[in-house]
């Protein structure tokens, strides 16, 4: 869990550095003023939309993977066979699945 937090912080820092670098380049190139320095331009909005889509896709894929894992494993961690009604390690009944 701590590792994921570090990854998220590194990703957020990379995004901030990227947007800041682009804004500094735009400011130095005369494409933006000090008043619009902290606003996102079209490339920034495209970057933000792309990151949002990527994060959404990542969360959906992670949720599907976890769902598949919990469908085929008991709460104790034992892998369950397709037709098993009970866990062979702890004896708990298999959780009901909708599909």
What residues make contact with Zn ion under the rule CB under 5 A?
Answer: 74, 76, 78, 87, 89-90
Cβ 84 to Zn ion shortest distance, Å: 10
Q: Give the Cα separation of 5 and 26 in Å (integer).
A: 31
Distance of alpha carbon 82 from alpha carbon 98, whole angstroms: 14
Q: CB of 66: closest distance to Zn ion in angstroms?
A: 17
Number of other CB atoms surrounding residue 13 within 10 Å: 10
When the beta carbons of 24 and 76 are compared against Zn ion, the nearer one is 76
| In the complex, minimum distance from the CB of residue 75 to Zn ion, in angstroms, rounded to a whole number | 6
């Amino acid at each position: 869990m701590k590792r994921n937090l570090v990854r998220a912080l590194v990703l957020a820092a990379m995004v901030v550095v990227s947007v800041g670098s682009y804004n500094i380049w735009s400011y130095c190139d005369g494409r933006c003023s000090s008043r619009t320095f902290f606003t996102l331009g079209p490339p920034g909005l495209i970057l933000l939309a792309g990151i949002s889509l990527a994060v959404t896709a990542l969360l959906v894929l992670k949720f599907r993977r976890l769902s598949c894992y919990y469908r085929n494993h008991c709460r104790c961690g034992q892998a369950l066979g397709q037709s098993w009604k009970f866990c062979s390690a702890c004896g708990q009944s298999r959780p009901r699945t909708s599909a």
